[in-house]
Amino acid sequence: LSLAQETYPGDSFSYQAIMDTGVSARYMAQASTSDDDLLDITHGGSVSDQPSNGVDGDMGQPEDIPGLGQYDDFHTIDWQRDIARDRMRHRYIVKKKQESVMDLIKGAHDAWSGWVCVLLVGLTSGVMAGVIDIGATWLTDLKFGICPSAFYLNMEQCCWSSNETVRDISGNCSLWLTWPELIGVERESSGGFFLRYISYVSWALLFAALAASLVRMFAPYACGSGIPEIKTILSGFIIRGYLGKWTFLIKSVAIMLAVASGLSLGKEGPMVHMACCIGNILSYMFPKYGRNEAKKREILSAASAAGVSVAFGAPIGGVLFSLEE
């Protein structure tokens, strides 16, 4: 009403004057809305309600605001909001890199950070798979005996330095000793067979109990293969701790113990879970992915492909698996 009085001075004004003033004010408000205001998206509930800055703001990047873009456990991410935040971040970097050499270097780092992160995920996943494969083989042979000259070698590696050309049916050589032979009992005697059976069962029970205890006490999320949960996370669901460092460490040790115990399971599915743990951990080295849940899914998708690749030796199959998810 006050705006209408200023526009149409006098003691009386018509209803049409009020309507014309309201329409013109609404049109002016819509015309003053810029692209930055449209990108200033807020989301209630599980996400912080703090406002985000535009590119021309003086407070710095949108990621500098505490709590922005953080989601609660067992919530779904807002894809459109995170994509808008990434566009704002990119526009801010493009504008800032023209001001100084340091900002230009930061812009270049942001450009190739995705390739570097994926490369690190692939290399680390390959090292992880090699360590697990070697460790599981060593623990499996530990149920049969040990190499006295080098306890860290499995049966095959222990016999590499042997000059014997003929071995028994189990592949043993003189350098590899079974557990009965360590206490002076002949390998092929009745007592030797009994002791070998007892040692085999004892080591298997110890490995299985230790694997279950580690998972139960330190990382409950390390149980199972993890494939269904990985698909759920890639679809935009938040499960805090499922891709954490403790889950990765405990599952790496527990899968070697479980496979060596002789349980009816494999290490292919857990390798996909552990590769995604590596992708989640390494993504925090790059703010482009560590502070944006939608962008982080790109790294997790590549990590799942790397996990399938190192598990089955099939890189193309890993890519197809990632596309299917």
Mean pLDDT, rounded, for 280-300: 91
How much is the pLDDT for 69? 53
How much is the pLDDT for 13? 43
3-class DSSP string for 102-152:
HHHHHHHHHHHHHHHHHHHHHHHHHHHHHHHHHHHHHHHHHCCEECCCCCC
**Rounded to whole angstroms, how far apart are CA atoms 104 and 64?**
19
**Rounded to whole angstroms, how far apart are CA atoms 121 and 8?**
68
**Rounded to whole angstroms, how far apart are CA atoms 175 and 157?**
10
**Torsion angle, CA of 243/247/253/259, rounded to 10 degrees?**
-70
**Rounded to whole angstroms, how far apart are CA atoms 176 and 273?**
35
For the stretch 76-86, pLDDT in tens is 999 989 989 88
**Rounded to whole angstroms, how far apart are CA atoms 248 and 265?**
18
User: Taking 60 as the threshold, does the pLDDT of residue 4 lie above it?
Assistant: no
Please say whether the dihedral angle defined by the alpha carbons of residues 58, 61, 66 and 69, taken in this order, is positive or negative.
Answer: positive
Model confidence band, residue 170 (pLDDT cutoffs 50, 70, 90): low
**Rounded to whole angstroms, how far apart are CA atoms 254 and 246?**
12
Q: Are 15 and 29 in contact (CB under 8 A)?
A: no
For every residue of 217-286, DSSP letters joined together read HH-GGGSS--HHHHHHHHTTB--TTTTSHHHHHHHHHHHHHHHHHT-S--SHHHHHHHHHHHHHHHHTTS
Per the prediction, the chain carries an average pLDDT of 79
How much is the pLDDT for 161? 67
How much is the pLDDT for 32? 39
**Rounded to whole angstroms, how far apart are CA atoms 68 and 204?**
49
Which of 27-31, 241-245, 246-250, 312-316 is the least confident region? 27-31
Q: Can you tell me whether residue 310 is helix, strand or coil?
A: helix
**Torsion angle, CA of 149/151/152/157, rounded to 10 degrees?**
50
For every residue of 3-30, DSSP letters joined together read HHHHHS-SS---HHHHHHHHHHHHHHHH
For the stretch 210-241, pLDDT in tens is 999 999 999 999 998 889 999 999 999 999 99
Mean pLDDT, rounded, for 30-39: 41
How much is the pLDDT for 205? 96
**Rounded to whole angstroms, how far apart are CA atoms 61 and 63?**
5
